[in-house]
Amino acid sequence: EFPEIPDFPNTTSSEELNEITINGSDLRFAFEKTAFAMSKEEMRPAMMGTLFQFTEEGLRFVTTDGHRLANLLNKNIRLDVESQYVLPERAVSVLLKILDEKDVKIYLSKSHMSFKLNEFELISRLIKQKYPDYSSVIPLENEFDLEVETKELHSVIKRMMLFSTSNTRRVKFSIKENNLEISAEDLDLGASGTENLNCKYKGDSLEIGFNSAYVNDVLSHLASEKKIVFKLHSATKAVIILPTEAKENYELMMLLMPVRLNN
């Protein structure tokens, strides 16, 4: 049962209301690739939604919970002015259920966003709090490239999750030229697992830890990509994850924060 929704607020001038048209399949795709990284912590309300950020490059959909970040750029959608809006998770969930391949008209004001498709209209209040400056956590100096087969890596991660300690879910990546060793250990149960993967790697030998559940989430949302590349710098810096194959109309980037390894 959908919640009661308000009428779209009256605007006093045309400047206060922006309008865009986007294909329903493209909007669904953006939500499907990013919604998983929205925060569930009420202490940070802005991060409990999806950021619509209009830039010179196009429309960015951004979500983050502080541990992982998803960022999809649709290059086909632009506004004359750079602006941003934060749509609550509940509205995203409803739209994911009803979007099809038909075009959607979106009306944006400072306080509300309206989605018109076919005979249906969804009006949602926006989250008032300013979205954090996510760009400040995207590293610029990640010079080491680790290229792997997505499906193969995902299978290993799912197996290693069985061995990772339940409270940390930690897995360790030990990376050197052409080899990625992934290991996990549950000290309470005395269980451990290790697997090796062929890879392409340019960089210094590196050991880095991740929350396996977060890696699993990211890989689930990159499952359609044959290969992906991890861009790394050190064991303590955020890691960028990208598809190796460039797309004409959009760019997709994931980011993961590492976890501390026990020496």
Range of lowest pLDDT (15-24, 121-130, 220-229): 15-24
Query: What pTM value is reported for the model?
Result: 0.90
State residue 8's pLDDT score. Answer: 52
Residue range 185-240, pLDDT digits in tens: 988 888 899 999 999 999 999 999 999 999 999 999 999 999 999 999 999 999 99
Q: Do the domains spanning 14-136 and 139-256 agree at the CATH topology level? A: yes
User: CATH for 14-136, among 3.10.150.10, 3.10.20.30, 3.90.230.10, 3.90.226.10?
Assistant: 3.10.150.10
Q: What is the domain partition of the chain in residue ranges? A: 14-136, 139-256
Most distant CA pair in the chain, distance:
67
Q: Phi then psi for 134, rounded to 5 degrees?
A: -65, -25
CATH class of the domain whose range is 139-256 = alpha beta
